[in-house]
A = this chain, B = another copy of it.
């Protein structure tokens, strides 16, 4: 039996709480079941040095996990003095995914920094982060528009992400922690609102997967992402 009594191709309950914090231009609490991530989008006028003078903007992401987001305490990366390979891999993934939402030329010399801080982890923290960040990013764009910082609309469209896995020969959508730890294959998929693939990252944890399994997993992902995008749109009042 899966958590929340769900079928193999069903998502956990998902929610997006906008304006979760008072300071950021965009802030969202995103929940995929028990996985909870605070996402903020911060506007900074100007761009990093390597991009200066090209008239283009930049979107970047950072990811962190509170030490006790997990079942046993994880050492604080600020105390260790460096971010783990996993953290860097995830924040690179989030950044690339969000840049697919924005026409950087139209954004102009503005940077949007997205921070995803996991306060409770139960599987799918990177996919929840991406979907939540998409909403926070929209709010930051609206802030820019309200404050007359944009001359054109740089938005291409939403993105959303979900994980799929193979366990005992069966595909499962939106893995929770227990499923993620025991599955044979773990596939993270990021898609655009228009239905195109942005990122596919599949890893055979136990044994190689087949072409057919890959097909099934992608179909499940498409189904899940369609539903997530509806929830994002509802939260945004679109």
Taking Cβ atoms with an 8 Å cutoff, the residues of A that contact B are: 21-24, 27, 34, 38, 40, 42, 44, 62, 64, 66-73, 76-83, 85-89, 91-92, 96, 100, 113, 115, 117, 119-122, 187, 191-192, 194-204, 207-211, 214, 218
The answer to whether A100 and B204 touch across the interface, beta carbons within 8 angstroms, is yes
Subset of 21 A-B contacts with CB under 8 Å: A21-B119, A23-B69, A23-B70, A23-B121, A27-B68, A38-B66, A42-B67, A66-B115, A77-B78, A85-B85, A86-B92, A100-B208, A117-B119, A191-B208, A196-B207, A196-B209, A197-B210, A199-B203, A200-B200, A200-B214, A214-B218
Contacting residues, chain B, for A71 (C-beta < 8 A): 23
Asked if A68 meets B42 with Cβ closer than 8 Å, knowing A23-B120, A82-B78, A120-B22, the reply is yes
A80 to B67, CA, bound (A): 18
Contacting residues, chain B, for A23 (C-beta < 8 A): 68-71, 120-121
Q: Which of chain B's residues has its CB closest to A92's CB?
A: B85
Asked if A21 meets B120 with Cβ closer than 8 Å, knowing A78-B78, A218-B211, the reply is yes
The answer to whether A96 and B203 touch across the interface, beta carbons within 8 angstroms, is yes
Least Cβ–Cβ distance between A199 and chain B, in angstroms: 6
The answer to whether A64 and B85 touch across the interface, beta carbons within 8 angstroms, is no
Contacting residues, chain B, for A69 (C-beta < 8 A): 21, 23
A194 to B82, CA, bound (A): 39
The answer to whether A73 and B196 touch across the interface, beta carbons within 8 angstroms, is no
